[in-house]
Structure 1
Amino acid sequence: MNNELKSFGNDISQQYILMLQDWVPANSSIAIAVEHSYIYFHPGHQDIQLKIGQQVMPGSIAEQVLRTHKKTDAILDNSLFNTPYYGIGYPISIQDKPAALVVILPSTFTMKKAEPFQFLTGKQEEEWNPVAISKISHIESLQKKTWFYVDKEQFKTGITLKELQLRLPPYFIRIHRSYIVNIHFIKKMARDLTSNFIITLTDGSELPVSQSYINNLRSALEF
């Protein structure tokens, strides 16, 4: 990493911290990424193991900001730092290079911000159907669209999986980058031939569990 860029980034970061102290909790973490790696990290109370020079991971807030050059927020995930987090990312520039400023807050902060959804409105062809959350077996992200399922019927919603995760009741568990499942509809869990976990729902649907989310499932179902 360019030492001059790192030093300059550190000076700029301290200025941002002074400004951010007026509106973010004192226990927030702050990270700055330039191009493809992090040049600064100010840890809060979260157990986030982020090091200077670490590469920006695909799907992270920083990666989305660097790719789109737009503000990114309402992200709740635990696949990137092994702990749930809520973050807001801002596009900035350091030495004429595109950069991302990311403020990371504990997940508890997010959950206090909004009440859980009681229903979702899904679209089938040209009809919109309000559906009680408790009746939804699982939610899927497919081809950049979000779908939820009720008795094997498929409904489309404009709300992203990450946005939904902020507002779903606690009995919905993220098990994969592409799936959130209602634990009340889980029939069984087993390993396949490659030792990966597969969830079978009461309607017969089979959903994969990625290694990044297996601890979510173990914690929720205590197995």
Structure 2
Amino acid sequence: MDKLNIESLLSVMSQLFSEEVSIGLTDHEKYLYYQPSKRVDLKIKPGQPLKPGTLGYRAVNENQKVSDFIQRDMFGVPYFGQAVPFEDGHFKGCVMAIYPSYTEGKSVVTLKTSDGWIPVPFEDVQYIEVKDRKTFVVSEKVSGTHKNSLQNFEFILPRTNFIRCHRSFIVNVEHIVEIFPDTHSTFVLAMRDGAKIPVSQSYSSYFRKLLGF
């Protein structure tokens, strides 16, 4: 494809998503294309070099998919994004999707209980579990349900504290008391409230890497 066709394709792709998603394309050292959304605009210009620490730079240099929250000091606004590297002959680059940071200005999860709704600070949430098609949030003082899926919670919760460890669990690492080895390279987490939470094999390598053991 020539440059015009690539830009046309990416423009159509941006319309397939929502008005909240920005689309970008890079080679191994600079941005080639950027289509901002109405909700988040990083003011990227074609030809602008990739900055160390940004999603595009990391995806190209680490040669792997990168998903992360990026603080406002990079582009002036915080955002969540994903970048997927690709290589075609001598050409190397990545495609990026940029989302607004919904955690900006928000620091609580509002739980539904039998008595009503209770806002719980992020730091008090111990773990989140999906069971019987419902999402349960367990905190130090109260537990309840929430309409979000685990995928939604992965997007809005601070990644410095919350880790997906199983298809049914997200845990707050600040509330892990001990980590026990289990069969087939998996683990069991002993939580502060006494709960035992599994780390499945598909998440074990990622979990160990993030916790550094």
TM-score by length of 1: 0.54
> Which residue among 163, 168, 178 is the counterpart of 2:152?
163
Describe the shift of the 1:198–1:175 C-alpha distance in structure 2 as closer, same or farther (beyond 3 A). Answer: same
**Using the alignment, how far apart are the partners of 1:194 and 1:216 within structure 2?**
15
- Is 2:13 aligned against 1:20? yes
Structure 2 residue aligned with 1:174: 164
Structure 2 unaligned segments of length 5 or more: list them.
Answer: 1-5, 16-21, 27-32, 34-58, 69-80, 85-94
Q: Does structure 2 conserve the Cα–Cα contact (< 8 Å) formed by 1:122 and 1:128?
A: yes
The number of aligned residues is 146
Describe the shift of the 1:21–1:168 C-alpha distance in structure 2 as closer, same or farther (beyond 3 A). Answer: closer
1:146: how far off? 1.0
Structure 1 unaligned segments of length 5 or more: list them.
Answer: 1-12, 29-43, 49-74, 77-83, 88-103
> Which residue among 117, 129, 132 is the counterpart of 2:121?
132
Structure 1 residue aligned with 2:179: 189
> Which residue among 170, 179, 191 is the counterpart of 1:201?
191
Describe the shift of the 1:166–1:193 C-alpha distance in structure 2 as closer, same or farther (beyond 3 A). Answer: closer
**Using the alignment, how far apart are the partners of 1:136 and 1:20 within structure 2?**
37
Could you tell me which amino acid in structure 2 is paired with residue 47 of structure 1? Q
**Using the alignment, how far apart are the partners of 2:190 and 2:208 within structure 1?**
15
**Using the alignment, how far apart are the partners of 1:160 and 1:153 within structure 2?**
19
TM-score by length of 2: 0.56
Q: Does structure 1 conserve the Cα–Cα contact (< 8 Å) formed by 2:164 and 2:171?
A: yes
> What CA RMSD, in Å, does the superposition of the two structures yield over aligned residues?
3.5
Identity %: 26
- Is 2:117 aligned against 1:118? no
Cα displacement string for residues 4-31 of structure 1 (whole angstroms, at most 9, x for unaligned residues): xxxxxxxxx9974463378621149xxx
Q: Does structure 1 conserve the Cα–Cα contact (< 8 Å) formed by 2:179 and 2:189?
A: yes
Describe the shift of the 1:19–1:138 C-alpha distance in structure 2 as closer, same or farther (beyond 3 A). Answer: same
Q: Does structure 2 conserve the Cα–Cα contact (< 8 Å) formed by 1:146 and 1:159?
A: yes
Describe the shift of the 1:161–1:86 C-alpha distance in structure 2 as closer, same or farther (beyond 3 A). Answer: farther
**Using the alignment, how far apart are the partners of 2:144 and 2:83 within structure 1?**
27
3-state DSSP of counterpart to 1:24: strand
Could you tell me which amino acid in structure 1 is paired with residue 64 of structure 2? D
Cα displacement string for residues 142-176 of structure 1 (whole angstroms, at most 9, x for unaligned residues): 12211110137421011111111111112111101
